[in-house]
Amino acid sequence: MSSAIAAQDIHKHFGPVPANAGASVSVQAGEIHAVVGENGAGKSTLMRILSGMYAPDEGSVQVNGRDVTGWSTREAIEAGVGMVHQHFMLVPTLTVAENVVLGHEPKKGIRLDRATAVQKVNEIAARSRLSVPAEKLVSELTVGEAQRVEIVKTLYRGARILILDEPTAVLSPPEVQDLWQVLRQLRADGGTIVVITHKLDEVMEISDRVTVMRQGRTVTTVNTRETSPAELARAMVGRDVALPARGGGGGGGVGDVALALRGVRVKKRDGTIALDGINLELRRGEILGIAGVEGNGQTELIEVIAGLLQVSGGDLKLFGQTLEGDARSRFDAGIAHVPEDRHYRGLLLEYTVEDNLILGLQHLFTNNGLLRRNAIHQNAVEKVKDFDIRPPRTEGTAGTLSGGNQQKIVIARELTREHSVLLAAQPTRGVDVGAIEAIHTRLRAERAAGKAVLLVSADLNEILALSDRIAVLFRGRIAATLSRDEADQERLGAYMTGAASVGSA
Amino acid sequence: MNPLSFLGQTLRIAVPYLFAASGGVIAERAGVVSLALEGFMLSGAFGAALGSYYSGNALVGILAGMSAGLLCGMLHAVATVRFRADQVVVGIAINLLVVGVTRFFLQLAFDSSSNSPRIPGLSTAGGGLGNPMIWLAVLCVAATGFLMRNTVLGLRMRAVGEHPQAAVSAGLSVGRLRYVAVALSGVLASLGGVYLALDQHQFTDQMTAGRGFIALAAVIFGRWEPVRAAIACLLFAAAETLQIQLQGAEILPTQFIQMIPYLLTLIGLAGLVGRSAPPAALGRPYEG
Amino acid sequence: MASPAHTSNWRGRVDETLLPVIIALLSALVIGDVLILSFGQSPADVYKLLIEGSWGNAWGFGQVLFKTTTLIFTGLAVALGLRAGVFNIGAESQLAAGGFMAALIGIMLPAATPALIAILICMLAAMIGGGAVGAVPGVLKARFGAHEVIVTIMMNFVVLALLNYIVATHLHEPETLRTPDVNAGQVWRLSDFWESFHGSAANGVLLIGVVLAALVWFFLFRTRAGFELRAVGLQPAAAEYGGIHVGRVWFTTLTLSGAIAGLGGINYVLGYKGYYEEGFAGGAGFLGIAVALVGRNHPMGVVLAALLFATLSQGGLAIHALVPKDIVDVLQAAVIIAMAVSVPEVRRLLRQRGGRA
């Protein structure tokens, strides 16, 4: 067998951040090839380079033995490489058929030949057993249907090599099974398929070979039949295979219930259900870790507690008092919040370090409506020192600091806010190793001080290293709650991927 | 009141709106805000006056007017597409620019600060509705509808205005499609000005008098659909006709008739007459 | 690594702020030269005349100051909105509404009202007039998500038509399109204090404008409300996280922006004519956009930019002897386009250079 598509030693930087630093992959014709790795391992970047969306800084890309490094999406499409993105590339106001043919439309003169478009879509759908409603508007489709449209789109352009980025992230279990059927059918027809995922059960089920990535590099490529989820997990996570030191704490210092969620339901803006009856108790002096594949309701869980989303059912209580109102009132009630995306929520990059250190606290640094600049400055000087924020200039803008130091600003602000509960969402994402340690130490100190900490992290090691108890979120529900002693990578992984579940509660 | 003369006058008043709104629909559907329709129109009127005056031929005037509109459209496109400048700011600036440029060249060419000399217009044989530009406007609406709904180019422009990343992933060039859309909107809107100048047999300073904004109101009130926008144009024109024909009857003060297009649009925006959703990527420069 | 990083950051911000302005002014200069040459005149002569006619004598300078005054208000109105991430294109009608309300109250006040009290009452009326017009897009944006650009444009037409109707049918002096003279509320002219300004319209409202610019600066950078307003403009999601009600800030900002533009109406009504007349805004609202843009949304920059545009506009009258005064309109538009183009371009170039270094 020959290599259908291959990348050699790819390097790609976005600004100062390397997304790929020596990534290689070689996919043979006619196989289903899984690319796995943790979030931020550089999988998507590598695939976008293969499909012509990005040009690599270094390294080369070959398709069927031909060097195509730095090609465009159009060239990739012409060479038979199609990509199904995690965020669908479909125009909601156009019909399925129009979306499929966009860019390569059947024409009658200058007119779009709709009948032919519909007919071709139906032909492809029948041939590859993908049922899609050719004349419906894309905005009216279910997620599963939309994904099938994406696949039909690539097939319409004659794709023989199909790259799917996290294709199951948004699908229900029966839809996932349908997708596997489709992919197997495509393989049987001689197609080559690359699937990016971080769900190991999927890898085992669908792929012929697996490439594991970590921190922008390729770690290994193995035959699926000759490996195990545990071995893959080890490769994904890297040297820290031995689980990190226990968080300590255990049951000893745990106090009364600080935060209680009962039957909490949250709807997203588009009306779909993000949280579906969450019951959760968070006690003083404990760190409760929330594990789960991203997009299973973690964001909404944090935001509903922080007052950025409103419940559509159930209630939240803080020390027995029902929580209501907006973000300000939650802060005032004693909930500190390290948001998951510091650039989106946590910081104003064009504000100074000083001003960022009072975001959400501005009313405490105000006198008769006027900002107390001296107090703000004094506060910043202390925080910069205490939290070792570098460079130690309080008047520089936050945007010029490194990710780790930006995160320290957020942490410094939230930890010194008067609080009994700390929500820490992805507290070490995009942060360098030194800063990770410092942040972990702070979180442990919080627990020791009797605070109730809710930790959400996509990094299982972090969850395992810090938590006293671990709850697994799966499709907006708590799939299981385990004590630290019961939890390990494999068990958590099983709950995270829905492979195991504890009833429907 | 004679219903036929009412309809005829409504149509004549609507002509500039129909041209400009067609242009507005195209640009906005491709994702570029159309605040410069007024300027495009005025440039068309002036171009028509220049061309028609110096050649003595109204057809040359039409071509010159369209060229002026094309030029302004290209200026808009280069600034907003190539340089990703703020579309609102550029739109407003082009309106100011055209007012200034036409005044300047009015001085330079005709040595007047208010108007051009009399220029040849189009034949108006057949009483009022004989002007072929009236029927060109109707044709223009139909053609725009056809373009947006039935052609490959229209499909692509709609995709670019709605979800540019999807268009790129399909191998389309957002920039090129927006260039075409804005240039086309410049040309079409300029025809509205051409009509005014040829109809009045002269160019006068700021002769478009806010008609470009009425056309924009029609685009929004018509929810970015060519035919609906055209109906909105006719509706607004009918209100004006009513005002003219009922002069003296004082049913409604002039100023209130003038407000109708804008008030209706405001009510539409407040969601009181159905939800109006602009193209999703409207106004956002595409960071390729 | 730390120290060069932040010095270059500081320099980068200055570059990012001032470079576009320089580029814009230079390109306007080039375009101006071309137009002047096309009219067969010497650019040097024209520019000399422009300066002489504006800054060269007390009367001309007084006129510059008068025009500067209105532009300070409309420029501040637009700049304040942009700081909160909302684009107020409605300064034109807010200015008119403010002027109208000031005149209306000035007419209704008894002539014996003490001057200072009358002025204060009229100022309040002007702010209420402009603020009411600004509140409409505020409500529509906060409640229905309607885009403020479209709403403020539509409001311009509606409000101007409404004012015209009121003046034409209920409040005009016979044979004119203006209201009667106000009984009270007239603001002192500069010529009352300095004889050399005689005949120029420059008046005490200039002082109010400059004080207002200082107040807006203070509000933006020294008060909590200003802190929250700027946060909304930079990153609404982060502002929301910080406990700020984004919709409420949009509403109050648009209302305040309208009130500031409205207050500008007194420059003409109380400072100059003593009555309201149709069309007095004369594009000053739109020019406010240019002023805010060139002033980089900073109150200090707005004052300087207002002075620049007022100089151009007054100087335009002087150069009419050599070239059409409308050349100034072209230059103003060219400055706006050049600013709009160079702001994102300069930012991109600076980022690129910073990224490589």
Partnered with residue A483 across adjacent β-strands are A469
- Give me the pLDDT at residue C93, please: 97
Name the residue among C95, C66, C63, C61 with its Cα closest to residue C78: C95
Q: What is the pLDDT of residues A337-390, one digit of tens each?
A: 999 989 899 999 999 999 999 999 999 999 999 999 999 999 999 999 999 898
Please identify among residues 40-79 of chain C the ones whose CB lies closer than 8 Å to any CB of chain A.
none
| Token pair in block for residue C320 | 């009419």
The answer to whether C90 touches C259, Cβ cutoff 8 Å, is: no
Q: Which of A200-214, A489-503, B234-248, C309-323 has the lowest mean pLDDT?
A: A489-503
The residue type found at B37 is L
CA dist C93 and C284 (Å) reads 10
What is the percentage of chain A residues whose pLDDT exceeds 70? 92
Partnered with residue A196 across adjacent β-strands are A35, A165
Query: What are the percentages of helix, strand and coil residues in chain B, rounded to 5?
Result: 70, 0, 25
- Give me the pLDDT at residue A143, please: 78
Q: What is the pLDDT of residues B163-193, one digit of tens each?
A: 999 998 888 999 999 999 999 999 999 999 9
A369/C5 CB distance under 8 A: no
Nearest 5°: phi and psi at C341?
-75, -40
- pLDDT reading at C108 higher than 80: yes
Q: What is the pLDDT of residues B202-238, one digit of tens each?
A: 999 999 999 999 999 999 989 899 999 999 999 999 9
**Residue B287 sits at the chain A interface (C-beta within 8 Å):** no
For residues C239-259, average pLDDT = 96
Mean residue pLDDT across chain A: 87
B92/C140 CB distance under 8 A: no
A337/C242 CB distance under 8 A: no
**Residue A55 sits at the chain B interface (C-beta within 8 Å):** no
Nearest 5°: phi and psi at A367?
-130, 115
A327/C240 CB distance under 8 A: yes
Chains with at least 3 CB pairs less than 8 angstroms from chain C: A, B
Chains with at least 3 CB pairs less than 8 angstroms from chain B: A, C
Chain-centroid distance of CA C203 in Å reads 17
**pLDDT bucket at C4, cuts 50 / 70 / 90:** very low
A363/C238 CB distance under 8 A: no
C153/B96 CB distance under 8 A: no
Which of A160-174, A418-432, A451-465, C57-71 shows the highest mean pLDDT? C57-71
Contact list in B for residue C344 (CB cut-off 8 A) is 83-86, 285
DSSP string, B96-143: HHHHHHHHHHHHHHHS-SSB---------TTTTTT-HHHHHHHHHHHH
CA dist A28 and A187 (Å) reads 12
For residues A105-119, average pLDDT = 94
**pLDDT bucket at A149, cuts 50 / 70 / 90:** very high
DSSP string, C265-303: HHHHIIIIISS-BTTTTTTHHHHHHHHHHHTTT-HHHHH
CA dist B16 and C92 (Å) reads 25
CA dist A332 and A353 (Å) reads 22
DSSP string, C95-109: HHHHHHHHHHHHHHS
Token pair 């031909």 is found at A66
Contact list in A for residue C231 (CB cut-off 8 A) is 348, 351, 359
C-alpha radius of gyration, chain C, whole number? 21
- Give me the pLDDT at residue A39, please: 66
**pLDDT bucket at B14, cuts 50 / 70 / 90:** very high
CA distance C340 to chain B (A): 5
For residues A76-103, average pLDDT = 91
Query: What string of H, E and C letters represents the secondary structure of A164-187?
Result: EECCCCCCCHHHHHHHHHHHHHHH
| Token pair in block for residue A74 | 């159009």
Give the residue, C94 or B260, on which the prediction is more confident: C94
Residue of C nearest to A394 (CA): C6
**Residue B71 sits at the chain C interface (C-beta within 8 Å):** no
Across the A:B interface, residue pairs with CB atoms under 8 Å apart total: 64
- pLDDT reading at C357 higher than 80: no
The answer to whether C265 touches C129, Cβ cutoff 8 Å, is: yes
Query: What angle separates helix B254-269 from helix C115-144, to the nearest 10 degrees?
Result: 50
Query: What angle separates helix B132-150 from helix B152-162, to the nearest 10 degrees?
Result: 70
The residue among A85, A93, A165 with the most chain B CBs within 10 A of its CB, best to mutate, is A93
What is the percentage of chain C residues whose pLDDT exceeds 70? 95
CA distance C163 to chain B (A): 9
Q: How many CA atoms lie within 13 A of B199 on its CB side?
A: 23
Residue of A nearest to C1 (CA): A391
C345/B83 CB distance under 8 A: yes
DSSP-derived 3-state class of residue C32: helix
The answer to whether C165 touches B256, Cβ cutoff 8 Å, is: yes
Give the residue, C291 or A245, on which the prediction is more confident: C291
Mean residue pLDDT across chain C: 91
Which of A81-85, A240-244, B152-156 shows the highest mean pLDDT? B152-156
Which of A175-179, A371-375, B275-279 shows the highest mean pLDDT? A371-375
Residue of A nearest to C232 (CA): A348
- pLDDT reading at C5 higher than 50: no
Query: What angle separates helix C115-144 from helix C148-170, to the nearest 10 degrees?
Result: 140
A91/B163 CB distance under 8 A: yes
DSSP C243: T
- pLDDT reading at C174 higher than 90: no
B166/A102 CB distance under 8 A: yes
Contact list in B for residue A86 (CB cut-off 8 A) is none
| Token pair in block for residue C322 | 């050599």
**pLDDT bucket at A129, cuts 50 / 70 / 90:** confident
- pLDDT reading at B126 higher than 80: no
- Give me the pLDDT at residue B274, please: 45
Contact list in A for residue C230 (CB cut-off 8 A) is 351
Beta-carbon contacts of C178 under 8 Å, excluding residues fewer than 6 positions away, are C167, C172, C273, C275, C276, C277, C278
C324/B104 CB distance under 8 A: yes
Beta-carbon contacts of C7 under 8 Å, excluding residues fewer than 6 positions away, are none
For residues C269-287, average pLDDT = 90
> Do you know the residue count of chain C?
357
Beta-carbon contacts of C29 under 8 Å, excluding residues fewer than 6 positions away, are none
- Give me the pLDDT at residue B22, please: 98
Name the residue among C163, C173, C178 with its Cα closest to residue C101: C163
Q: What is the pLDDT of residues C196-217, one digit of tens each?
A: 888 889 999 999 999 999 999 9
Name the residue among A430, A38, A485, A455 with its Cα closest to residue A243: A485
Q: Measured between CB atoms, which of C150, C155, C333 is closest to B100? A: C333
How much is the ipTM here? 0.91
**Residue B99 sits at the chain C interface (C-beta within 8 Å):** yes
Report the relative pairing of strands A477-483 and A469-474 from DSSP bridges.
Answer: antiparallel
Residue of C nearest to A371 (CA): C223
Task: Give the count of beta carbons closer than 10 Å to the beta carbon of residue B227.
Answer: 15
Q: What is the pLDDT of residues A457-476, one digit of tens each?
A: 877 888 999 999 999 998 89
- pLDDT reading at A88 higher than 70: yes
Residue of A nearest to B165 (CA): A89
- Give me the pLDDT at residue C172, please: 85
Number of helices and strands (H, E) in chain C? 13, 0
| Token pair in block for residue C351 | 């980022």
Contact list in A for residue B170 (CB cut-off 8 A) is 89, 102-104, 153
Task: Give the count of beta carbons closer than 10 Å to the beta carbon of residue B136.
Answer: 18
Residue of A nearest to B146 (CA): A111
- Give me the pLDDT at residue A399, please: 86
- Give me the pLDDT at residue B58, please: 93
- Give me the pLDDT at residue C353, please: 67
Bond from prior residue into C344 cis (ω within 30 degrees of 0)? no
**Residue B271 sits at the chain C interface (C-beta within 8 Å):** yes
Q: Which of A263-272, B22-31, B263-272 has the lowest mean pLDDT?
A: B263-272
Token pair 């492809």 is found at A124
A91/B159 CB distance under 8 A: yes
